[in-house]
């Protein structure tokens, strides 16, 4: 599939108009319309902006890959619900507190050796990934009292 078709498909899947999308991304609507008709190609910065907006890889946008987002392509990540800004802030706050706590403890050990800064960073990245996954998975389960009548 080619870029214009992929852009149309992604936009339609979100129920957005070209006006909505161009407004969200601060792109001229006519310019965006040209991307969807194939009259114009987005520059690399705009491609990345579009990829980030749709949570896909640039390769997917360009039709080079069938994998929407390689970071999300594994058997353990079937829950791809989007995180809200509140979720992101919550994760950021928790990670900041966790990092401060770990750094303030001067005696961190890993396999009996003092922990290197690289090891600490790897552990923090893994914890952040875990927090994000937990948030996404928890979004799947809505308590009965918060469900809409149609659920």
Q: What is the mean pLDDT of residues 41-66?
A: 88
Is the pLDDT at 94 greater than 60, yes or no? yes
Does residue 8 belong to any structural domain of this protein? yes
Mean model confidence pLDDT for the chain: 81
Same domain (yes/no): 16, 66: yes
Does residue 80 belong to any structural domain of this protein? no
Same domain (yes/no): 100, 45: no
Does residue 77 belong to any structural domain of this protein? no
pLDDT of residue 75: 42
Is the pLDDT at 104 greater than 90, yes or no? no
What is the domain extent for residue 99? Answer: 85-146
pLDDT of residue 64: 84
Residue 20 vs residue 67, higher pLDDT = 20
Q: What is the mean pLDDT of residues 22-38?
A: 92
Is the pLDDT at 71 greater than 70, yes or no? no
Question: Residue 68 sits in a domain of what CATH number?
Answer: 1.10.260.40
Same domain (yes/no): 64, 22: yes
Same domain (yes/no): 29, 67: yes
Residue 4 vs residue 105, higher pLDDT = 4
CB 61 within 8 A of CB 35: no
pTM of this prediction? 0.47
pLDDT of residue 147: 58
- Domain boundary, last residue among 47, 72, 97: 72
Same domain (yes/no): 91, 120: yes
Is the pLDDT at 79 greater than 50, yes or no? no
6 HSE (CA, 13 A, CB side): 21
How sure is the predictor about 146, in pLDDT bands with cuts at 50, 70 and 90?
low
How sure is the predictor about 70, in pLDDT bands with cuts at 50, 70 and 90?
low
DSSP string computed for the chain: --HHHHHHHHHHHTT--HHHHHHHHT--HHHHHHHHHTSS---HHHHHHHHHHHT--HHHHTTS-S-S-GGG-STT----PPPPHHHHHHHHHHHHHHHHHHHH-TT-EETTEEPPHHHHHHHHHHHHHHHHHHHHHHHH---GGGS-TT-
Residue 113 sits at φ, ψ, to 5 deg, of -115, 150
Q: What is the mean pLDDT of residues 20-29?
A: 91
Same domain (yes/no): 8, 68: yes
Tally of structural domains, the chain: 2
């Amino acid at each position: 599939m080619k870029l214009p078709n992929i852009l149309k498909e992604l936009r339609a899947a979100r129920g957005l108009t070209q006006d909505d999308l161009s407004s969200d991304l601060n792109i001229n609507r006519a310019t965006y319309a040209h991307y969807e008709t194939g009259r114009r190609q987005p520059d690399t910065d705009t491609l990345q902006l579009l990829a980030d907006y749709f949570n896909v890889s640039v390769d997917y946008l360009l039709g080079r890959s069938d994998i929407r987002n390689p970071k999300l392509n594994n058997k353990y990540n079937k829950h791809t619900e989007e995180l809200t800004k509140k979720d992101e802030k919550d994760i950021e706050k928790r990670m900041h507190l966790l990092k401060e706590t770990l750094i303030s403890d001067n005696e961190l050990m890993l396999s009996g050796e003092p922990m290197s800064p690289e090891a600490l960073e790897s552990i923090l990245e893994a914890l952040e990934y875990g927090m994000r996954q937990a948030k996404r998975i928890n979004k799947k389960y809505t308590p009965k009292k918060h469900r809409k009548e149609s659920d």
